[in-house]
Structure 1
Amino acid sequence: MLTTQQLIDIEQLQKECETHDHLQLKLNWEMLRKRESDQLDFFHYENGELVAFLGLYAFGSTVEVCGMVKPSERRKGHFHQLFQQGMEKIKQNEYKKILLNAPAGSDAAKVFLYKQGAEYAFSEHQMEWQEKPLEETDGIILRQATLEDYEKRVRLSVTAFGVDEEDARAMESQVFVDNTAMLMIDVKEGTVGKIRVSREEGQAWIYGFSILPEHQGKGIGRKVLRRVIKEQSSAGYSIHLEVETKNDHALRLYESVGFKVVHAQDYYKYQLG
């Protein structure tokens, strides 16, 4: 697992990079804080200060890669060195699909990724809820997921996100930290969906929100979002989520309850040579 000092160093470097570059990095803090080993994170220190970092985030057979370099330490080869170490680890672990992540507004990241031969794959919008009145919700129950919900969660990941079953089983086997709630969505017909809410430093993030295809188009998703928004905003949290830019249906749903796009992340496919 990562040490407290390493997590502090990563956070400080992230803030410095985001302030300097006027963008938002995606470092998957939920995963960083529950690392079971430090074998997926790579650090470069100069005089006791973290100046470059690269993290690998595995989702079944897919691995996402994200990193950063202190503005004054760029163009010195630090990140290229970490990138090579990360790719070697990916080769050892035999991940099938590699996605390199970079903020859409980072021209430097684009140049680096194209130099590596990476190919643009898709983008995600990062959205934040803007306060607005919401109707009351009824007819749905949000309850904590249990072991008995495992197969349903796998089915939801496969049918709603197009994830293959092996990856879905790996993803749904993850144990989340205390500040994360895995919730199942029940209606009178039974369990029809799931949603995960993670709270960190005044922010609530929505992940893995999915409704079974046969129950979509009935207004269930909108009710769930209203319920989650009301609960989290009442508790003092700002509310955030990510959605793939080409998912027009989801984008319209989120916008209808008050979410606005604030940042974008680009993803690139990468093949090991």
Structure 2
Amino acid sequence: IIKIEVNAMLTQEELASIKELQEVCEKDGGFQLKLNYDMLKNRSGQVKEDFFHYENDHLVGFLGSYDFGNKVELCGMVHPNYRRRGIFTRLLEKGIEEAKRRNIKKILLNAPSNSLSAKNFLTAIPCTFYVAEYQMKWHKVQLSEDPSVTLRPSTTTEDFEAEVQLEVSAFGFNEDEARRFNQQIRENSSDQNFIIETDGKTAGKIRVAEADGEAWIYGFAVFPELQGKGIGRKALTKVVKTEVQKGLSVFLEVEAKNAHALKLYESCGFRSYHSQDYYKYTI
């Protein structure tokens, strides 16, 4: 029996099935998939974002859609024993169809850089290489805190507006996209949102997600006019030391083309251990 499902909010059983399938695929391929479990666990249920393929009541194919305000990223997998049957093609068609229905202008297909099966599949898809992204893990180095930069929880309307403007200036969002994206984070995520301050003024933002003994840093940005003054380094140092004191391993992601950020992270003790390639789908 073959069953294809499209779900909104995910159950614990579905999350466990996704995790089990991921482990099988990663062990077989020797790569790591970026399935954004923090987002899977906090689906809003308002739109179709997850696509399942079952055979005999076993999950053998999955595709997740991840909305980042100005773009949608698609990442999925098929059990090694069920490949070359068109399963992923059908899942991808459904994911792209839903993105188009929502009038998404930029669709990115995400694949581990060292996955030969993904690269072979993508040769038959109308897409072009867009960017590489490194996953980085912090390794112990001596870090010195500086009291001139502080972090506080983002709670006020003014904080929200600052976050919106930082998405625009640092990540290329337009204002409507940035507003929607940050509202989704506040409503559907358990992440910790912090405002970076110096001299009593808002200088930037940073977001931290904690789960399963890991802390992931996201959305790290400093206003352009305040960059180059060491504010980012001091804020990152505070976050790393706080998370390490909790006994957590610290991770982040950075695009390969962002040489300035890459250099900053490496100087603070982060080392790349894996990479993902993104391909822009031709709509």
Sort the TM-score into its range (normalised by shorter chain).
over 0.9
Percent identity, aligned pairs only, is: 49
Match of 1:180 among 191, 198, 202: 191
Question: Residue 92 of structure 1: CA displacement?
Answer: 1.5
**Number of equivalences:** 272
Distance 2:146 2:57 in 1: 53
Q: CA deviation at 1:91?
A: 2.1
1:156 aligns with 2:139: no
Query: Is the contact between residue 179 and residue 200 of structure 1 (CA under 8 Å) also seen in structure 2?
Result: no
When normalised by structure 1's length, the TM-score is 0.96
Q: Which residue does the alignment assign to 2:228? A: 217
Flag as ranges the 4+ runs of structure 1 deviating above 3 A. Answer: 176-179
Residue among 22, 31, 48 paired with 1:14: 22
Q: Which amino acid aligns with 2:164?
A: V
The CA distance in 2 between the partners of 1:249 and 1:261, in whole Å, is: 15
Q: CA deviation at 1:224?
A: 0.9
Amino acid at match of 1:168: A
Q: In structure 2, give the amino acid aligned to 1:11.
A: K
Q: Could you tell me how far 1:105 is from its partner in structure 2?
A: 0.6
After superposing the two structures, state which structure 1 stretch, 168-177 or 189-198, moved more: 168-177
Q: Deviations over 1:33-71 (max 9, x none)?
A: 111227211001122221100011112241111101111
Between 222-231 and 156-165, the greater mean CA deviation after superposition:
156-165
Deviation per residue, 1:127-184 (Å, 9 max, x gap): 0001122113321211110132111111111111222222111111122556410000
Distance 1:157 1:69, change over 3 A: same
Matched position secondary structure for 2:123: helix
Give unmatched runs, 5+ long, in structure 2: 1-8
Q: 2:43 aligns with which of 25, 35, 39?
A: 35
Cα distance in structure 2, aligned partners of 1:83 and 1:217: 42
Residue of 96, 109, 112 corresponding to 1:100? 109
The residue that corresponds to 1:58 in the other structure is 67
Contact 2:256 2:262 in 1 (8 A): yes
Does structure 2 conserve the Cα–Cα contact (< 8 Å) formed by 1:59 and 1:170? no
Report deviation, 1:249: 0.5
Give, in angstroms, the shift of residue 214 of structure 1. Answer: 1.0
**Residue pair 2:70, 2:174 contacting (<8 A) in 1 also:** no
TM score, norm. by length of structure 2? 0.92
User: What pairs up with 1:55-94 in 2 under 5 angstroms?
Assistant: 55-94=64-103
State the SS of the aligned residue for 2:104.
coil
1:232 aligns with 2:243: yes
Q: Any gaps of 5 or more consecutive residues in structure 1?
A: none
